[in-house]
Structure 1
Amino acid sequence: MNLTQEDWWAKLQEDENAVVLDVRTADECLDGVIPGAINIDIYKGQGFVYQVDELDKSKNYYVYCKAGGRSAQACHIMSQMGFSTTYNLMGGFSEWDGPVDELK
């Protein structure tokens, strides 16, 4: 499901079963990450599928990339893999004005 930044963040704040998933490249993550995010690069192809398959399918996934395209694709792949709840951040990190953590 595609959500605006405001809806995505509001829903995330109320969700005790949430996982934030960043599907950008490691280099892109150097620009900062949304707090608590785990990073699995969608460009890794089958490697992405293998890593995502190890995640808990009962959780709710809040997925983002740089602009919203790759994260929408990730949500589609995840739903095909049996994940029931995925939320795509429309506009992605490039339009994000919420909190940001710097990578250490």
Structure 2
Amino acid sequence: LEGAVNADVQSADFAQALAALDPDRNYAVYCRSGSRSKAAMAVMQQSGFSNLFDLAGGIGAWQSAGGQVVTD
């Protein structure tokens, strides 16, 4: 997604990646299928993030619905 930040919830650096984000902004959280994004949202909520939105079904569902994906 345009402006996306890749922060892997399974990475040892996930807490460091969260520290660089503003907890008061809105975030759409997603992964390939939806499992890791739910785990990431739980950690983010525990870290004070409250404006989180789950991209239900993951990036695959987004693309199937016609959503655009930007890659480097």
Do they fold alike, i.e. is TM over 0.5?
yes
Q: 1:92 is matched with which residue? A: 58
Quote the Cα distance in structure 2 between the aligned partners of 1:57 and 1:102. Answer: 25
Normalised by the size of structure 2, how large is the TM-score? Answer: 0.85
Q: Deviations over 1:34-84 (max 9, x none)?
A: 12211112221x310121122111101111100011011111100000111
Count of residue pairs brought into register by the alignment: 69
Match of 2:34 among 61, 68, 71: 68
Q: Aligned residues: percent identity? A: 39
SS of the residue aligned with 1:96? helix
Query: RMSD in angstroms over aligned alpha carbons?
Result: 1.1
Query: Structure 1: 5+ residue runs without aligned partners?
Result: 1-33
Quote the Cα distance in structure 2 between the aligned partners of 1:56 and 1:101. Answer: 23
Report the AA paired with residue 101 of structure 1.
V
Q: 2:9 is matched with which residue? A: 42
Normalised by the size of structure 1, how large is the TM-score? Answer: 0.61
- Which structure has the highest strand share of the two? 1
SS of the residue aligned with 2:13? helix
The answer to whether 1:101 aligns with 2:33 is no
Report the AA paired with residue 80 of structure 1.
Q
